[in-house]
Structure 1
């Protein structure tokens, strides 16, 4: 795992978190899991992997947005569903 002093890695993970709509810790964990699966341990390689994930996400941003919108729309009988009392 990259140290907390690695500002470039943190900045890339922050942009990834913003794009995904998740926390910074969750985005870092996602990158760390992918890095572990690929056998990557060097901080430079992790930064490159995070940049690849961000580029991949930005390339499919339209798909991601339409999927999220479809999931948030009310379906049939859910129109009057109340989350809170």
Structure 2
């Protein structure tokens, strides 16, 4: 029986925090079809996972939430800030 694999938590540097995803503003691209947040969110999670693997270590949830906040603009950014502050 092998020991469990340990994942070490580190803080990624500025270069490692850059992920290839567009910012999300919450606006509906096509009226009444939704803001596409779910598909954007899935791409965001995939990009974070990819960045973690390439950096060689696991990122804390605090770092991930911080990066998420930097990818919101407009209405989405205002809502995010309300949730963080409240």
Q: TM-score, normalised by structure 2?
A: 0.31
Bigger-Rg structure (1/2): 1
Greater RCO structure (CA 8 Å; 6+ sep) = 2
Q: More strand by proportion, 1 or 2?
A: 2
Q: Return the TM-score normalized by structure 1.
A: 0.32
